């Protein structure tokens, strides 16, 4: 990722590599605003090169054992540590089987080389409009666990990302885990991404439906079209309250393309994005409800 920086060098910083979570939190508590936590560093190093961030201390968490683990427990769900790479998640059988939308999003993120390095927690923390990670996570009601020396908080991903480049994370806190609840038995989900002719997605979407004959819960989450992830709540309601799903799909898709706040930027215009939203929604809902 780059914008307009003519620099080859990074600003000066001191590099720390704590071996325990406590050590990391102590360092962060000491340096606060002057420090930044680094997992893969994909976002951090890019921002530093652009001089959009110049931390004088970089705290690398890749050696902390509990942060490198992915755990799944029936009933509790998935617990993904901050230092787990996207490649590791891509090879995880539970994710592939039970969390379809998350699996698809990870598989399509960037390219294999970046996936070997980037982490899912880091992806959320970037809070850039075009990152894919938050989209399926919001559709699964995932939460971020945020720790400081004296406190632990659990925040829904949709609240954690407050706006573009703005997250609910204090200077002495580390985002340590993502908790994704066990999907209910009749869950079906999918993730779609449109990025033809663009490095960044022009529109992404995660759809998660519980009950594919008579839906009980519907989540339609969109990314890359606005300044942060958005849900099409009215479109969701159309699906929830419809008598005939097949007929409701186009209506819901049209509604989604109209109700969401969509931006125009250097990558695409608003009207094209709205059109893509409609196309993606129809595609996602069809594949979930397996209309034939």
Partner 1 sequence: MKFEGKVVISSEINKVWDFISDPEKIIQCIPGIQEYSVGEGKRVTAKIKVSIGFIKGVFHASSKVLEEDSTKYTAKLSLTGSGAGSGFNGIVDIKLNRMDGSTELIWAADVNVSGPLGSLAKPILEGYVRKLVEQLFDCVRQKLA
Partner 2 sequence: MSFKYIGKPIPPHDAFQKVTGTATYTIDLELPGMLYAKLVTSTVPHARIKKIDVSRALEVPGVVKVVTGRDYPYRVGMYAGDRDLLAVDKVTWVGHPVAAVIAETLEAAEKAMDLVDVEYEELPAVFDPLEALKPDAPLIHEKMEEYRHSPAFKPVPGTNIANKFTLIKGDIKKGFEESDEIIEEEFHISHVSHCYMEVQNVIAHYHLDGTVEIWTSWQNVAPVRQIMALSLGITHNKIIVRIPFVGGGFGGKAGLGWEALVAILSKAAGHRPVKLVLSRKEQFSSAAVREGFHAFAKAGFKKDGRFNAYNVKFILDAGAYADYTVNVGRAVGYSADGCYEIPNIYVESLTVYTNKIPTTALRGFGYPESHWVLEQIMDRAAKKLGIDPAEIRLMNLLKPGHSYMGTGERLREDAGDPKKVLTTLVDEIGWGKPSEKPSHPWKIRAKGLALFVKGPAQPPNAASSAILKFNEDASIDLLIATGNFGQGTITALMQIVAEEFGLPLEKIRVDYVRDTHKSAYTWQTVGSRGLFTDGIAVLGAIRDAKKQIFRVASEVLRCPEDQLELVDGEVRVKGKPWEKIPLQDIVMGYTYPNGNSVGGPIIGRGVFMSTHTTYLDPDTGQGNPTIFHTFGGTAVEIEVNLLTGEINILKAVEVLDLGKVINPLLVKQQIHSGLIMGTSISLYEQIKFDERGWVINPNFTSYYLARIKDIPREVVGRFIETPQLDGPYGARGIGEHTMIGVAPAIANAIFNSIGVKMNKLPMNPENVWRTIKEQRPDLVEEAMKKFSEHRETVEMII
Residue numbers of the site for partner 2 (CB under 8 A)?
Answer: 1-9, 12, 104, 190, 192-194, 196-200, 202, 249-250, 266-269, 272, 275-276, 278-280, 282-283, 286-287, 290-292
Report, in Å, the least distance between residue 127 CB and partner 1: 7
Q: Which residues in the 105-124 window bind partner 1 by CB under 8 A?
A: none
Closer residue to partner 1 (CB): 77 or 223 = 223
Closer residue to partner 2 (CB): 104 or 176 = 104
8 binds partner 1 (CB under 8 A): no
199 binds partner 1 (CB under 8 A): no
Q: What are phi and psi of 23, to 5 degrees?
A: -60, -45
Q: Give the contacts of 190 (CB within 8 A, at least 6 positions apart).
A: 100, 101, 104, 206, 207, 284, 287, 288
Report, in Å, the least distance between residue 140 CB and partner 1: 25
Rounded Cα–Cα distance for residues 187 and 207 (Å)? 10
CB atoms within 10 A of CB 3: 9
Rounded Cα–Cα distance for residues 23 and 146 (Å)? 16
Q: Give the contacts of 48 (CB within 8 A, at least 6 positions apart).
A: 10, 11, 13, 54, 55
Select the span of 45-53, 73-81, 111-119, 272-280 touching partner 1 (CB under 8 A): 45-53
Q: Which residues in the 155-194 window bind partner 1 by CB under 8 A?
A: 162-167, 169
Report, in Å, the least distance between residue 135 CB and partner 2: 14
Q: Which of 147, 139, 138, 90 is nearest to 116 (CA)?
A: 90
Specify whether the backbone of 224 is left (phi greater than 0), alpha (psi in -120 to 50) or beta: left
* Number of residues located near partner 1, criterion CB under 8 A: 23
212 binds partner 1 (CB under 8 A): no
Give residue for tokens 């806190």. 173
Closer residue to partner 2 (CB): 23 or 265 = 265
Residues that bind partner 1 (CB under 8 A): 3-6, 47, 50-54, 127, 162-167, 169, 227, 263, 265-267
């Amino acid at each position: 990722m780059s914008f307009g920086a003519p620099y080859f060098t990074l600003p000066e910083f001191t590099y720390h590599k704590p071996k325990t979570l406590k050590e990391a939190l102590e360092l962060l508590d000491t340096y606060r605003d002057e420090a930044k936590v680094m997992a893969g560093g994909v976002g951090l190093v890019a921002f530093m090169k652009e001089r959009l961030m110049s931390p004088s201390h970089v705290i690398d968490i890749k050696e902390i054992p509990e942060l490198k683990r992915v755990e799944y427990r029936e009933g509790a769900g998935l617990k993904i540590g901050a230092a787990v790479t996207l490649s590791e998640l891509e090879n995880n059988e539970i994710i592939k089987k039970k969390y379809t939308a998350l699996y698809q999003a990870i598989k399509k993120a960037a390219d294999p080389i970046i996936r070997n390095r980037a982490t899912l927690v880091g992806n959320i923390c970037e809070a850039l409009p075009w990152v894919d990670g938050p989209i399926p996570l919001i559709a699964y009601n995932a939460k971020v666990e945020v720790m400081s020396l004296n406190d632990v908080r659990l925040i829904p991903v949709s609240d954690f990302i407050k706006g573009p480049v703005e997250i609910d994370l204090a200077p002495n806190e580390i985002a340590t885990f993502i908790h994704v609840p066990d999907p209910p038995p009749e869950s079906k989900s999918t993730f779609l991404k449109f990025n033809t002719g663009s490095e960044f997605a022009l529109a992404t979407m995660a759809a998660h439906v519980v009950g594919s004959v008579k839906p009980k819960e519907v989540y339609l989450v969109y990314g890359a079209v606005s300044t942060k992830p958005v849900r099409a709540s009215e479109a969701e309601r159309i699906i929830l309250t419809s008598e005939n799903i097949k007929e409701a799909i186009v209506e819901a898709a049209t509604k989604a393309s109209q109700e969401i706040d969509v931006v125009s930027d250097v990558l695409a215009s608003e009207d094209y994005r709205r059109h893509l939203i409609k196309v993606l929604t129809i595609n996602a809902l069809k594949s979930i409800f397996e209309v034939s």
